[in-house]
Structure 1
Amino acid sequence: MFKKIILVLLIGFLAWVYQAARSPPPRICGSPAGPPVTSTRIKLRDGRRLAYKEHGVPKEKAKYKIIFVHGFGCSRHDLAFATSVELGMAEGQGVYFVSFDRPGYGESDPDPKRTLKSVAMDIEELADQLELGSKFYVIGSSMGGQQVWGCLKYIPHRLSGATLIAPVINYWWPRFPAKISAEAYYQQYPQDQWALRVAHYTPWLTYWWNTQKWFPASSAIAQKPKFSRQDLELISKLRGIKHDRAHVTQRGEFESLHRDLMVGFGSWEFDPMDLKNPFLDNEGSVHLWQGDEDGLVPVTLQRHIAEKLPWIHYHELPGAGHLFSIADGVSEAILKALLLGEKEPVEEITD
């Protein structure tokens, strides 16, 4: 009798875990019960829709064509870069800029099979359907920087150049020395250490972990990340640019935020430190920008990447946190380095 009771309780517990770990189905844009469609979208090879937004000069007149990849909890509207492009370099240098909602964000359909490779293929298809030509530039910020690593791996032949802005690091990349990776990992908030462990080792529990009320979930999902002093000073400016969080996650937090954690901190198909220079003839360049006071992305690991990949132009900004690209003049310096080969004039981030 006692064994039967234990078995019933175990079955009940497993059933509860199964139900708690299941994410709700994503909401469908344009459906009677779903969010409205307000964007321009393309239909991808597998039938998914990808929402995008264009900026700068018309692409037919553009000298430079750039695809921007947004970060965690953002969307096609979150363009600190667009302000610089539209008001400064766009007309003067002939810059066309297109941003898009990554799968599961905003008005782009979720991709339950999302990987670094699949997003690189989405980017390539976006470029082809918009007729951007045989080559184009990519810029990725924060979590979007991981997608740029994917472009360098899977579609390097399509790139004129690439920039990674404070790209989020996966602590489980094999080429990181265990000691420096562990030191950087334990600089995070304890709640983030646990959230990433779950995303990496038990991804099927990611939804439950970040929605349960027993333990603190990811600080980024709670919108209380480890910002630096400079970040906090820039927050007020970011609020003028950042789009509504409800719009960003309107398809559901699982297919946007939670899947970002699962893909970004899961087992990658490749290690970025094994990549080869895609521009051996110097017909393009790759740039990595990092603040030395970034509380979200440890500078020590970026320095290691720059050491292992000397063909990457590494720019480290003293006093800068994670949001340095919205500081005055920084986005323009980033663009000039990528497009014109100019050395950045930014030596220190000021208020």
Structure 2
Amino acid sequence: MWRAWPTSGGSAARSQVRHASDRWASPPPASRSDDRVRTIRTPDGRSIALELYGQPDGVPVFWFHGIPSSRLGACVLDRQAASRGVQLIAPDRPGYGYSDPAPDRCVTDWPHDVCAIATELGLGKFSVLGVSGGFQYVAAAAHAIPDRIHRVGVVSAMGPLGAPGVLTGIDPRMRVVYELGLRHHRAARVWLSSFGRSDPARVAKRQMRLLHECDQELLGRPEQQQARIEDLSESARQGMRAAQDEGQRYLEEWPFQLECLDIPFHLWQGEFDKSHPPAMGRYLEATIPRSVMHWRPGVGGLFYLDDFGSVLDDLLG
């Protein structure tokens, strides 16, 4: 049953208990969209928070956020989704934002939460779209519930990091982090926890330094920068445990094979993406049997911030 998120008490209060080493330097402020937050109760009793963007009662498209991120990552896509007649359904995965944590769950449990949301919304079939580290969760949904999915795709996908050659062309600083994490999983958790010990604005600036100039220009716009800061802050509302767990799952053996996905799978790859390099896109295109690759020349991985309408056209057209 739909309900607004409570300001105190119950599982909400318990879920906001954080380890000191994982919290932001300052507590996350109230989001400018807190009044839009809705939650559903899953069959096992957890709360999943989400926001709806775009056109009310439009074509339903789920948006799976990256790592770390939250439902607020979709707020900058609101107008573009509305212009295409799309309702963007943006949930917080467990442990992010206002969604109850579920540290012992597997990536393949996420499709059950998606179906619970869809049932609450009265949806039969729906489309699924993700970004960056949301790829693993989009792929899990395509694997587990293909009969519920109309169209599926990922922008600037981050696939399996241990696949041969996929890190070619990535920013050297990120390559060091990923390769160290592949050898020592604890190192990846420590690195992700460092996000929580910094001010979100400083984290956003650090991230910008890893981007190509075209992505720096996009993310450097005041409205985009503010949205990213709010998204990062919201992602760590309960600490960094969720991001640490998800990062570790990326480094471990995945519980399904991409070669077994049996549904048309759209991918968008920017030529100058330094975080999800073209080598990653080529690997995914070759590995997913029914992949549909949309190469984007002259842009980076954040091109969709300006051109989300064309992504929706590709997906739904």
Q: Deviations over 1:181-234 (max 9, x none)?
A: 4xx2584434x445434544543554445457xxxxxx8896456211110010
Deviation at 1:337, TM superposition (A): 1.5
State the partner residue of 1:238: 224
- Greater Cα radius of gyration, structure 1 or 2: 1
> Which structure 1 residue ranges, 5 or more long, are not aligned?
1-26, 213-218, 279-284, 341-351
Separation (CA, whole Å) in 2 of partners of 1:221 and 1:107: 25
**Alpha-carbon distance between aligned partners in 1 of 2:260 and 2:283, rounded to the nearest angstrom:** 14
- Match of 1:157, SS state, is helix
Change (3 A) 1:107 1:292: same
Distance 1:307 1:54, change over 3 A: same
Identify the residue that residue 44 of structure 2 maps to in structure 1.
46
Partner of 1:249: 236
Q: Would you say 1:130 and 2:158 are equivalent positions?
A: no
Quote the Cα distance in structure 2 between the aligned partners of 1:265 and 1:189.
18
How many Å separate the matches in 1 of 2:133 and 2:50? 18
Matched, 1:339 2:308: no
Provide TM-score, normalisation by structure 1. Answer: 0.71
Aligned-pair distance for 1:268?
A: 0.7
User: What corresponds to 1:154 in structure 2?
Assistant: 144
How far is 1:321 from its partner?
1.1
The within-5 A match list for 1:80-99 is: 80-86=76-82, 88-90=83-85, 95-99=86-90
Paired with 1:101 and 1:33, the residues of 2 have a C-alpha distance of 14
- The 2-side partners of 1:128 and 1:339 are apart by 21
Q: What amino acid is aligned across from residue 165 of structure 1 in structure 2?
A: V
Query: d(CA) in 1 for partners of 2:240 and 2:72?
Result: 18
Match of 1:139 in 2: 129
Q: 1:32 to 1:162 in 2, by over 3 A?
A: closer
Contact 1:53 1:98 survives alignment (8 Å): yes
Query: How many angstroms apart in 1 are the aligned matches of 2:296 and 2:135?
Result: 17
Find the residue that maps to 2:160 and give its secondary structure. Answer: coil
Deviations 1:61-94 (A, max 9, x none): x4x21111111232112213322012x122xxxx
1:71 corresponds in structure 2 to 66
Contact 1:225 1:296 in 2 (8 A): no
Q: Could you give the per-residue CA deviations for residues 113-159 of structure 1, whole angstroms, max 9, x where no partner exists?
A: 232201222212211222212x1100101111221111111111110
Other-structure match for 1:271 = 257
Unaligned runs of 5+ in 2: 1-9, 18-27, 195-202
TM-score, normalised with respect to structure 2: 0.78
Q: 1:220 to 1:298 in 2, by over 3 A?
A: farther
Q: Which has the higher helix share?
A: 2
Change (3 A) 1:117 1:225: farther
Cα distance in 2 between the residues matched to 1:32 and 1:148: 25
Corresponding residue number in structure 1 for 2:54: 56
The number of aligned residues is 282
